[in-house]
Amino acid sequence: AQKVTQAQTEISVVEKEDVTLDCVYETRDTTYYLFWYKQPPSGELVFLIRRNSFDEQNEISGRYSWNFQKSTSSFNFTITASQVVDSAVYFCALSEAGGRRALTFGSGTRLQVQP
């Protein structure tokens, strides 16, 4: 069975601070995908990144960066120089590489960026 744990329920930072959202996963599959989605107050989930289990290279996209460490089953997400618009709930998710590839979501981390 797959499981995704986001231990941080809520995080509050002041604008321009860096913040890291933690994600730890469990799976018996050797091939799988990891995702991060952002859910702003409007409700729509916005896709941020997908990472293949075979690709452990860290990725940077603007102010966003992701650190994938297979040894610790973690896929952490860092926002550099946070902005008020980053306020949202962030979900980490895991899917099998084959079959239905349904997403297993973590419980989400609510990020509040104060001006």
**Given the rule CB under 8 A, which residues bind another protein?**
35, 37, 42-47, 50, 91, 100-103, 105-108, 110
For the CB of residue 110, give the shortest distance to another protein in the complex, in Å.
Answer: 8
Nearer to another protein, 2 or 74 (CB): 2
For the CB of residue 91, give the shortest distance to another protein in the complex, in Å.
Answer: 7
For the CB of residue 8, give the shortest distance to another protein in the complex, in Å.
Answer: 14
For the CB of residue 92, give the shortest distance to another protein in the complex, in Å.
Answer: 10
Q: Which two tokens stand for residue 14?
A: 């002041």
Nearer to another protein, 16 or 37 (CB): 37
Nearer to another protein, 57 or 71 (CB): 57
Nearer to another protein, 68 or 91 (CB): 91
CB 73 within 8 A of CB 24: yes
What is the residue type of 1?
A
